């Protein structure tokens, strides 16, 4: 493979071809050596890969060649943290609206930060505000010393915002959206309940935390990609990592898809059984109460929503997930854009994992109630499908990542990756 070295004066880089041994050097005027043929394609002359770009060079994604999102992500994170600091000052000054106040937090499935107590919640809110904003501003303005701190702090803050400051409420609202829309059209009570859930300030605080979590995750990723030898555009380093290669990703991606399909099928099986009058994992009394209150009808909507998601998940390993099928008039035969699958699947994976973490974190209390005989008529078998939501979210995220690795082309900026067909 070709190597890269810089001359002592730093004025020009000389790359030596590994096959022919003829130097590819630029003269003082910038003209290429006429003895060296120019590469004819992405692999270079004779099928050899081009030399790896020098760290920080334009082809390596450094400097002005960085993708735009790596420029605006730190500024976005700074603006978000400044806004959150202002919101925290408002809560402290007015004493109203604090989302982690004890009376606002569900002791079983509420946000983990809220269940740690007001002192811990206020500490997290304060750290996510002005200190984080100052760090993001320093990074956005090019302070190199702040970059290692930004990577660690960005990853930690992203995890806290996404996993510890949200609960199952956001997932519930998203899952009930089809049923809520039907209720709004038909005038059923569920329509009014859905609108009430949408108007809850706690819900929009969770949306705000999700937005901040993604911004800080992007900020950390942007600075990880500024490491020497790493392409800012694709993240490849030139050092082979077998698990990210398309063939390897296809193998572990199939396992992830299988897990991401099994969980919603189990969830749907229990909900459809209850709708059919079968007390699978619940008592007869609870089955009757749920039927009288319409719980199993709404549950069947969620089950159908989950099964639809399971079918779409299969597309991550099927040909129709890469090429639009024939019955899709106007799109048949065209390649499915990678982002069309990756973006929504990633969002759903986060919601499932976040909601699942909130439920599982309170699962010990539910188990204790069942053991003590104080449960609401649902056995551990009835709780099992929802307790697997974190697995569902993690598996869907892994399946989506495998799909991305399997379909990403060679990088136009650094030339790394599989050869174009």
What is the tens place of the pLDDT at every residue in 122-161?
999 999 999 999 999 988 887 777 778 888 889 999 999 9
Measure CA 53 to chain center.
Answer: 29
Largest CA distance in the chain: 89
> What's the whole-number mean pLDDT along residues 204-229?
89
Which of 98-102, 185-189, 313-317, 354-358 has the least mean pLDDT?
354-358
**pLDDT score, position 89:** 96
> What's the whole-number mean pLDDT along residues 223-240?
77
**pLDDT score, position 38:** 38
Give CA angle at 167 (164, 171), nearest 5°.
130
> What's the whole-number mean pLDDT along residues 69-95?
94
Specify the 3-state DSSP secondary structure of 4: strand
Q: What percent of the chain has pLDDT over 70?
A: 79
Q: Supply 342's token pair.
A: 């990756």
Q: How many CB atoms lie within 10 A of CB 105?
A: 22
Instruction: Give yes or no for a contact between 50 and 238, defined as CB atoms under 8 angstroms apart.
Output: no
User: What average pLDDT does the structure give for the chain?
Assistant: 80
Give the neighbor-by-neighbor strand order of the sheet with 13-16: 3-6, 13-16, 23-24
Output 47 or 174, whichever has higher pLDDT: 174
- Buried-exposed string 351-378: b where 16+ CB fall within 10 A, e elsewhere: bbbbbbbbbbbbbeebeeebeeeebebb
* Residue 140, C-beta contacts closer than 8 angstroms, at least 6 positions apart: 74, 75, 78
- How many H-runs (helices) and E-runs (strands) does the chain carry? 16, 3
Q: What percent of the chain has pLDDT over 90?
A: 40
The pTM assigned to this predicted structure is 0.75
Instruction: Give yes or no for a contact between 69 and 220, defined as CB atoms under 8 angstroms apart.
Output: no
Pairwise CA distance, residues 86 & 287, whole Å: 48
Instruction: Give yes or no for a contact between 14 and 7, defined as CB atoms under 8 angstroms apart.
Output: yes
> What's the whole-number mean pLDDT along residues 225-236?
79
* Residue 199, C-beta contacts closer than 8 angstroms, at least 6 positions apart: none
């Amino acid at each position: 493979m070709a190597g890269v070295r810089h001359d002592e004066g730093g004025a020009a880089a000389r790359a030596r071809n590994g096959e022919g041994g003829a130097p590819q050097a630029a003269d003082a005027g910038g003209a290429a050596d006429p003895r060296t043929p120019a590469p004819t394609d992405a692999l270079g002359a004779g099928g050899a890969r081009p030399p790896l770009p020098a760290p920080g060079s334009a082809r390596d994604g450094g400097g002005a060649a960085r993708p735009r999102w790596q420029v605006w992500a730190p500024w976005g994170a700074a603006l978000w943290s400044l806004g959150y600091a202002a919101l925290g000052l408002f809560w402290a000054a007015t004493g109203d609206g604090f989302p982690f106040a004890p009376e606002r937090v569900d002791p079983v499935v509420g946000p983990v930060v809220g269940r740690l107590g007001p002192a811990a919640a206020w500490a997290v809110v304060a750290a996510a505000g002005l200190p984080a904003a100052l760090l993001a501003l320093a990074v956005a303005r090019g302070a190199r010393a702040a970059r290692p701190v930004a990577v660690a702090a960005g990853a930690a803050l992203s995890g806290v915002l996404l996993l510890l400051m949200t609960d199952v409420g956001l997932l519930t609202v998203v899952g009930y959206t089809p049923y809520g829309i039907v209720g709004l059209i038909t005038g059923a009570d569920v329509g009014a309940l859905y609108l009430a859930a949408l108007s809850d300030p706690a819900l929009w605080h969770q949306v705000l935390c999700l937005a901040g979590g993604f911004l800080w995750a992007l900020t950390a990723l942007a600075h990880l990609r500024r490491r020497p030898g790493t392409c800012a555009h694709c993240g490849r380093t030139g050092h082979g990592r077998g698990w990210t290669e398309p063939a390897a990703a296809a193998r572990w991606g199939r396992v992830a898809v299988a897990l991401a399909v099994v969980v919603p099928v189990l969830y749907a099986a229990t909900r459809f059984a209850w709708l059919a009058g079968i007390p699978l994992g619940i008592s007869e009394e609870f089955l009757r109460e749920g039927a009288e209150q319409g719980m199993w009808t709404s549950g069947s909507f969620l089950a159908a929503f989950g099964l639809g998601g399971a079918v779409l998940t299969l597309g991550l390993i099927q040909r129709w997930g890469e090429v639009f099928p024939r019955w899709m008039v106007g799109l048949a035969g065209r390649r499915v854009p990678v982002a069309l699958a990756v973006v929504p699947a990633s969002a759903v994976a986060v919601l499932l994992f976040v909601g699942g973490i909130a439920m599982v974190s309170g699962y010990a209390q539910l188990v204790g109630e069942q053991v003590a005989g104080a449960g609401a008529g649902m056995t551990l078998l009835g709780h099992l499908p929802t307790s697997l939501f974190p697995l569902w979210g993690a598996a869907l995220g892994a399946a989506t990542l495998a799909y991305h690795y399997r379909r990403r082309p060679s990088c136009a900026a650094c030339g790394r990756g599989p050869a174009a067909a």
